Amino acid sequence: MSPITKTTRALVASVAALALTAPATLSADHHANNGTHMTNPAQAHDLIPRDALFGNPTRAQGRISPDGKWLSWLAPSNGVLNIWVAPADSPDDAKVMTDAADRPIRQHFWAPDSKSVGYIQDKGGDENFLLYKIDVASGVETTLTPYENTRVQIIGGSETIKDKILIGLNNRNPQFHDVYLLNLNTGESELVLENNGYAGFMADDTLTVRMAMRQNEAGGTDYFEVSDNEVADEPFEATAMEDSLTTNPAGYTTDGSILYWIDSRGRNTAALYAQDTATGEKTLIAEDDKADIGGTIRDPKSGVVEAYSVNYLKNEWVATDPALRETLDWLGSQFEGEFGISARTDDDMTWIVWNEPLTSPTKTYIYDREAGTLTPFYTSRPELEGAPLQPMHPVEITSRDGLTLPSYLTLPPGTDTDGNGRPAKPVPMVLLVHGGPWARDGYGFNSIHQMLANRGYAVLSTNFRGSTGFGKDFLNAGNKQWGLKMHDDLIDATDWAISEGITGADQVAIMGGSYGGYATLAGLAFTPEKFACGVDIVGPSNLETLLSTIPPYWAPVVKIFHERMGDPNTEEGLALLKAASPLYKADQITKPLLIAQGANDPRVKQAESDQIVDAMKSAGIPVTYVLYPDEGHGFAKPANNIAFFGIAENFLSECLGGRAEPLGEVLEPSTTQIVEGAEHVKGLEEAIGS
């Protein structure tokens, strides 16, 4: 199935997109080394260069056109990721199709008619994504949405109407996306539905809008039938706030007779249902006691579900179609580690399949179902072949009030001498916190885990309450618990690692992006003696100002923030937000802190980092502050990522005693600006002057 077909934007997808995701008062002993210089076995293993982990992949995101005639992928051209296309029967005859010279192209897809490839791109991380397409025959590139301050959404594609898609544009009103029918070949668009209040829409295979979604007063979602592009007055389905992030429609079959739901109403974990669109009757297809049903694999022609995934500690596919089950079982026997399907032809005879062995680089294959053959396509990072990559260990940690926290642990090379998933003796550790918070950590290759483990640290990622995928009870246990029980879970995970002999009580750093950056600030401000240091990447410091500066296109779902964080329009809610804001306790930070921020971040504005840095300076507290003028919510440019992680690893080396690749001239190709505290990171002053 082409990624652009069967695409839907349910309200839950909008909320997932708006989540804070990504990738101290320093005391007089700021330069003290809590872990002393390391003598653990990691030193005996090769230092993996930063470039190999955070630089451009050799190739990535392999695709095959729906008609099976073309292969495509992302690869560097003049040092920047661009789209390449080659005939499927002659992969070596590849041509670069785009000319991105600054910001990398990070995702691409085929038009249903296989005549063009498309991609979306913003400017400097501002998340105003526009849609572009390149005609394969002529190589001509066209901006399909040539508007300023506009963010495009893909609302629907079709298996039978190959040259058109439905898109949403907020160029008329930044809060709401109007629905347009876009001709991918001519670039002409036609207004289908003017939107003055809905968060999202869903269409069927005829590119007819069938459903509209709107947040209700309770913070849940109302679902309205759409007929002749008119939205019904009353919803035909609704959720309460408790189900708003665990229930969503998952698309229609091609004939429109079945609407699939991932649904947690009346239960804890979200199950997969098929609803008869004529009668409204629902049939349970799949459920799991520990985790929500995740993705599905559909028949490319009929749109009928053939398999579904369950991701508790690891992602597992369960096939309902016997032929697909046989195929998935065979693929599973060919690979070690995780694998998945990234593209399928219309006839379903050729797949692009990736394999992630974890301890060797990710590989991608062309799978011929009829012949039963796997042909190597590419290795994403061949420079990691033979590198001391480490396995990831899924673990379950119990919180102080009895919740099970699914977590992932990576250990430094050579420290797990008996293979039991524990080091022979305690090592320094980094608690790496995911963003969202309505997101999750998962099993698989993780560049940050691998870099930190290679430098001599255990790395622990914990799904704290409020994380998604583990049922609505676990998710809703995080409601209005920012800085409270959500933070307690991170402390409990740290204490577990100490009790298990993984690390020592004075050897733990906290690090994360977005919500993980907030958790870092909270960790150093609310529990200043718990962590040896912290690394905050685009994290909010003041929850009141965070909510007051959300992007306009989040306005239709702002109630979710208020119900799950605290309502700034009420006295009680405002007090809760202030109490959970690290800014107000910045003067209690006593451990080294590194802050990184993108100047164009629309989710967590630069002011969130500026204000806590100013507060620390006013209190006479050292802090290191790194700014990227051409980045947003996370860093897209490899040169910036390499530079930042170079600073971070040298910062952690001073704090925890791990090893680090010297900074050298790593800042030169990046746009790194050191706003404050270069003197607190080993080699940074010299790197600035180099």
Number of neighbours of residue 438 by Cβ within 10 angstroms? 24
Cα angle at 421 between 293 and 432, to 5 degrees? 60
- What is the C-alpha to C-alpha distance for residues 285 and 282, in angstroms, rounded to an integer? 9
- What is the C-alpha to C-alpha distance for residues 103 and 600, in angstroms, rounded to an integer? 13
Under 8 Å between Cβ of 253 and 160? no
Tally of CA atoms within 13 A in the half-sphere of 376 that contains its CB: 7
- What is the C-alpha to C-alpha distance for residues 396 and 404, in angstroms, rounded to an integer? 6
Question: Distance between alpha carbon 124 and the CA centroid of its chain, in Å?
Answer: 18
Structure tokens at 462: 């914990």
Residues 6+ apart with CB under 8 A from 400: 488, 492
Under 8 Å between Cβ of 486 and 465? yes
Strand partners, 41: none
Give the residue among 183, 143, 136, 140 at the shortest CA–CA distance from 163: 183
DSSP state letters, 265-307: TTSSS-EEEEEETTT--EEEEE--SSS-EEEEEE-TTT--EEE
Number of neighbours of residue 369 by Cβ within 10 angstroms? 17
Q: Is 506 helix (H, G, I), strand (E, B) or coil?
A: coil
Q: Cis omega before residue 426 (within 30°)?
A: no
- What is the C-alpha to C-alpha distance for residues 380 and 450, in angstroms, rounded to an integer? 16
- What is the C-alpha to C-alpha distance for residues 328 and 342, in angstroms, rounded to an integer? 14
Beta pairing class for 237-238 and 221-227: antiparallel
DSSP state letters, 96-138: E-----SSPP--EEE-TTSSEEEEEE-STT----EEEEEETTT
Under 8 Å between Cβ of 95 and 84? yes
Burial class (CB in 10 A: 0-12, 13-18, 19+), 89: exposed
The residues assigned a catalytic role are 514, 601, 633
Structure tokens at 237: 């389905």
Place of tokens 């001599």: 456
CA-CA distances (angstroms) from residue 593 to 22, 61, 252, 378? 19, 35, 49, 40
Would the CA dihedral through 245, 247, 248, 251 be positive or negative?
A: positive
- What is the C-alpha to C-alpha distance for residues 443 and 451, in angstroms, rounded to an integer? 16
Structure tokens at 59: 């190739």
